[in-house]
Structure 1
Amino acid sequence: MPSSPDAYAAFAPAPSAPARRAEAVTPNDTTDLPNLAKALYVGVTGDVRVVPVASPGGAAVTFVGHPVGYMPIQCARVMATGTTAGSLVALFD
């Protein structure tokens, strides 16, 4: 835990607010992330197949050839099948 006071602790999380927590992602076809991610960071270019939070029926979608950088999509799962990108990090409030 940081020793500095958190100047933003009293503010409600917003989609455009910085993430407060991050975890490395191991793509998995059957297991959801431990919490819904507010965004993903892609460290190695490639395809990223995710199940968006509000996806009808839990349908996955593939972002083809996503470059290194942030994906501003809330997702419940990062699929192993169809994901070729690497060094993925999920960002949370």
Structure 2
Amino acid sequence: MTDRFSDVHPSLSGPASTGFTILPDDDANILETTRGLYLGSGGDITVVMASGASIALTNVPGGSILPLRVNRVLATGTTAGGIVGLV
């Protein structure tokens, strides 16, 4: 298979190259700081950003990709589901 971009250094403005399932947890950080989040089903999501700031986003539609650098997705305040961390 040809990958025309294999020699291009990844950047925050480029596409994600992998992802992982995120289970919201009030106490534990996720595996890796994300460059974005995908929400499979809509709702509210509360996160701890890479800066340490906590934010709540309400009424986010399912299928959304949020360009957020996140260290934790909190269970408290999160009703969205199917959350995938994009890196």
Q: TM-score, normalised by structure 2?
A: 0.90
Describe the SS at the equivalent of 2:82.
strand
How many residue pairs end up in the alignment?
86
Describe the SS at the equivalent of 2:44.
strand
CA distance in 1 between counterparts of 2:43 and 2:75 reads 12
Describe the SS at the equivalent of 2:33.
coil
Question: Match for 2:84 among 74, 81, 89?
Answer: 89
Name 1:77's counterpart in structure 2: 72
Question: Match for 1:41 among 38, 60, 77?
Answer: 38
Q: TM-score, normalised by structure 1?
A: 0.85
CA distance in 1 between counterparts of 2:6 and 2:49 reads 27
CA distance in 2 between counterparts of 1:9 and 1:49 reads 34
Name 1:63's counterpart in structure 2: 57
Q: Deviations over 1:25-58 (max 9, x none)?
A: 101111111111100001111001011111xxx3
CA distance in 2 between counterparts of 1:74 and 1:48 reads 14
Root-mean-square deviation (CA, aligned residues, Å) is 1.1
Quote how far apart the aligned CAs of 1:6 are. Answer: 3.0
Identity among equivalent pairs (%): 34
